[in-house]
Amino acid sequence: TWDSSGDHHDPYNWSSMRKVSVALIVSLGQLVTLMSTSMMAAVLTQIGADLHLGSTATQVIFSIFILGLAFAPFLIAALSEMYGRRPVWIASNLFYILWNALCPVSPSVGLMTVGRFLAGSGASAGITLTGPILADMYRPEHRGRSLALATFIPYLGPALGPIIGGVISQHLPWGWLFWILSMFDAVIVLVGIVFLPECYTPSLLRKKAALHRNRRDAANAPLSSFSKHPLTLLLDKAFYQDLSARLGAHLIRPLGLLIYRPVIQVIALIMALNFAIYCLLLSTYATLWIERYGESATISSLNYIAIAIGTITASQAGGHLMDWIYRSLKARHHDGAPTPESRVPFLVPGVLLIPVGILLYGWSAERRLNWVVVDVGTAIFVTGSFVLSQGMLAYLLDEFTTHAASANAAARMLSNILGFVFPIFAPDLYAALGYGWGNSLLGFIFVAVGWPIPLVLWVYGSRLR
Q: Each residue of 417-439: pLDDT tens digit?
A: 998 889 888 889 999 999 999 99
User: Helices 262-287 & 344-366, crossing angle to 10 degrees?
Assistant: 30
What are the sequence ranges of the domains in the chain?
11-206+246-464
User: Using alpha carbons only, what angle is made at residue 334 by residues 343 and 463, rounded to the nearest 5 degrees?
Assistant: 45
At 231 the pLDDT is 52
| CATH T-level fold of 11-206+246-464 | Growth Hormone; Chain: A; (1.20.1250)
pLDDT at 240: 60
Digit-coded pLDDT (tens) for 31-46: 998 888 878 877 887 8
Average pLDDT value for residue range 269-296 = 89
| Average pLDDT, integer, range 205-223 | 67
pLDDT 10s digits, 367-394: 999 999 999 999 999 999 999 999 998 8
Q: What is the mean pLDDT of the chain?
A: 86
Region 330-355 average pLDDT:
83
**Res. 223: pLDDT tops 60:** no
Q: Exposed/middle/buried for 98, CB within 10 Å: 0-12, 13-18, 19+?
A: middle
Whether 385 contacts 360, CB under 8 Å: no
What is the tens place of the pLDDT at every residue in 99-108?
Answer: 999 988 877 7
Under 8 Å between Cβ of 167 and 298: yes
Question: Is 90 exceeded by the pLDDT of residue 228?
Answer: no
- Confidence check: pLDDT of 210 > 90: no
User: What are the tens digits of pLDDT across the range 245-278?
Assistant: 777 777 888 888 888 889 999 999 999 999 999 9
pLDDT at 164 > cutoff 90: no
Report the pLDDT value the prediction gives residue 239, as an integer from 0 to 100.
56
**pTM (global) more than 0.85:** no
Burial 406-431 (b: 16+ CB within 10 A, else e): bbbbbbbbbbbbbbbbbbbebbebbe
Give CA separation, 448 vs 351, 355, 435, in Å: 11, 11, 20
Residue 145 pLDDT > 90, yes or no? no
Place 335 in a pLDDT band, splitting at 50, 70 and 90: low
Euclidean distance between CA atoms 234 and 213, whole angstroms: 22
